[in-house]
């Protein structure tokens, strides 16, 4: 199964659809993102902003979720920034707290104190 994200005019994901891999095969029997995109353009009546995504992050770093942004420069899907203080890890394209979360226990981020507080 392949997955494609539908993007709005600002490259924000508005929907994600599954596609049988057979729909992505070229005449040579090779899977092609362009073939999948062409399928969704036909299926949607001409809407052209479709980008493939994957659950395991093998392409575009993260699985596209509604509200994520597709960054064309990084060729990655990036979740909405959860807190103002968090920074983007350029390798994973995931948001990281300015302080590492403790290993033991359950914690939630407190933006006012810029620290992890116990959730227990």
Model confidence, pTM: 0.91
pLDDT band at 120 (very low <50, low <70, confident <90, very high): confident
Q: Which of 14, 8, 13 is nearest to 60 (CA)?
A: 13
pLDDT in tens, 17-73: 999 999 999 999 999 999 999 999 999 999 999 999 999 888 999 999 999 999 999
Domain range annotation of the chain: 1-80, 81-120
Half-sphere exposure for 15 (CA within 13 Å, toward CB) = 8
């Amino acid at each position: 199964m392949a997955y494609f994200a539908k993007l709005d005019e600002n490259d924000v994901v508005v929907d994600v659809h599954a596609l049988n891999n057979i729909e992505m095969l070229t005449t040579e029997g090779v899977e092609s993102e362009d073939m999948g995109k062409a399928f969704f353009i036909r299926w949607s009546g001409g809407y052209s902003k479709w980008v493939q995504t994957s659950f395991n992050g093998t392409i575009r770093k993260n699985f596209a979720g509604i509200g994520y942004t597709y960054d064309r420069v990084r060729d990655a899907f990036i979740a909405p920034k959860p807190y103002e203080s968090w920074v983007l890890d350029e390798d994973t394209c995931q948001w990281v707290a300015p302080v590492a979360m403790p290993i033991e226990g359950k914690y939630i981020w407190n933006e006012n104190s810029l620290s992890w507080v116990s959730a227990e």
